[in-house]
Amino acid sequence: MIEAKGLTKRYGDTLAVNDLSFQVRPGTVTGFLGPNGAGKSTTMRMILGLDRPTKGTATVNGKHYHELKHPLRTVGALLEARWVHPNRSARAHLTWLAKANGIPKRRVEDVLDIVGLTSVASKRAGGFSLGMSQRLGIAGALLGDPEVLLFDEPVNGLDPEGILWMRKFMHRLADEGRTVLVSSHLLSEMSLTANELVVIGKGELVAQSSTADFVARATEQTVRVRSPQLSVLVDVLSGEDVGVREEDGGVVVSGMDSESIGELAAKHSIVLHELSPQQGSLEQAFMHLTGDTVEYATQ
C-alpha cells in the first residue's frame, strides 16, 4: 500500500505537487495519469525518498522510505531507462546490484527468467533494444522481490510488442498481490493497463477512482440506434427530453438509457436494428476533467 497525505513539493516558484492525497492498494494496477509536468515523477521520487516533501507525507506500507529496514525488499522502481555500463552483461549488472544490496546471487537467475532475458543474459547490455533495457531495469526492481512496485512511464518509446509485454507483466505482478503504480501520459494505454486511476493535473488531485467509473463519470453517456423506421423513431424521441443527432445512417441519443429507448420503440412498434450504449474514451474523460490543468496543450 502506498499512501500520500497532503503531499506538497515546491521548487522555488514552482509548486510541482500541491496537497496531494491518495492511496494505492495491493492486487491491482493503478495508473498515475497526468499531462506533462503534472508532477508524476516528483511524486514518485518523494515516495522513493529521492526527494524531500516540502509538506505532507508519502509512505509505503505505513513507513517513510528511509524508515524501511530493507528498502529493496519492500519497494522496487523503474524510474527511467537506467544507466547500465554498456560493456557489462545483463547478468553482471544484476549480480553487481544484488551484491551491493545484500541480495543472494541466486535471485539474479530468477529475475532474468521472470523478465525473459535468460537467453541474452551474457550479452552486452549496451547492445540491448529499448524494450530489453526496460526489462533489465524491471529485473533490477524485482531483485528484492518487493511487494510494492513503481514504474515511471515504462512504455515510452516501446514498440507494440514491448507495450503488450509490459501490460501483461504489470497484470501478472498485480495478480501476485503486489501494489503496482504506473505513471503515464498515454491515456489509451492506461485504459487497457490500469484498473484504478489516480489522476493529477498541475500537481493537484483531479480524481481517484476505478478506470471504468472515471470514464463513465467524465464523459457523456450516449446510445447509438439504427432502425429501418428511423424518421418515426426520431419523431417519437422528439417528444422526450433527449438529445438526438444523426450519425452514419442512425442516430446517437443522449439523455436516455438503452433500456428506455428500447421500451419506447416497442411501445410504438418500431423495429430496431441496433441499440448500443456508447462508452466515452479515457481521452475524452481526461480532457474533460483536466482541461484547465493541461500545461502544455498542443498549439
Ligand X SMILES: Nc1ncnc2c1ncn2[C@@H]1O[C@H](COP(=O)(O)OP(=O)(O)OP(=O)(O)O)[C@@H](O)[C@H]1O
User: Does position 185 bind ligand X by CB under 6 A?
Assistant: yes
When binding is defined by CB under 6 A, the residue of 34, 137, 140, 144 that contacts ligand X is: 34
User: Does position 10 bind ligand X by CB under 6 A?
Assistant: no
User: Does position 41 bind ligand X by CB under 6 A?
Assistant: yes
Closest CB 72 distance from ligand X, rounded Å: 23
User: Does position 36 bind ligand X by CB under 6 A?
Assistant: yes
User: Does position 157 bind ligand X by CB under 6 A?
Assistant: no
16 or 115: whose CB is closer to ligand X?
16
- Cα distances from 292 to residues 55, 286, 297, in angstroms, run 25, 11, 10
User: Does position 219 bind ligand X by CB under 6 A?
Assistant: no
User: Does position 211 bind ligand X by CB under 6 A?
Assistant: no
Q: For ligand X, which stretch binds (CB under 6 A), given 8-16, 83-91, 110-118, 246-254?
A: 8-16
Closest CB 32 distance from ligand X, rounded Å: 9
* Cα–Cα distance for residue pair 130/123, rounded to 1 Å: 15
Closest CB 282 distance from ligand X, rounded Å: 17
Strand order in 204-210's β-sheet? 75-78, 148-152, 179-184, 28-33, 196-201, 204-210
Q: For ligand X, which stretch binds (CB under 6 A), given 34-42, 164-172, 186-194, 214-222?
A: 34-42
- DSSP characters over 264-291: HHHHTT---SEEEEEPPPHHHHHHHHHG
Closest CB 134 distance from ligand X, rounded Å: 16
User: Does position 39 bind ligand X by CB under 6 A?
Assistant: yes
Binding stretches for ligand X (CB under 6 A): 11, 14, 16, 34, 36-42, 185
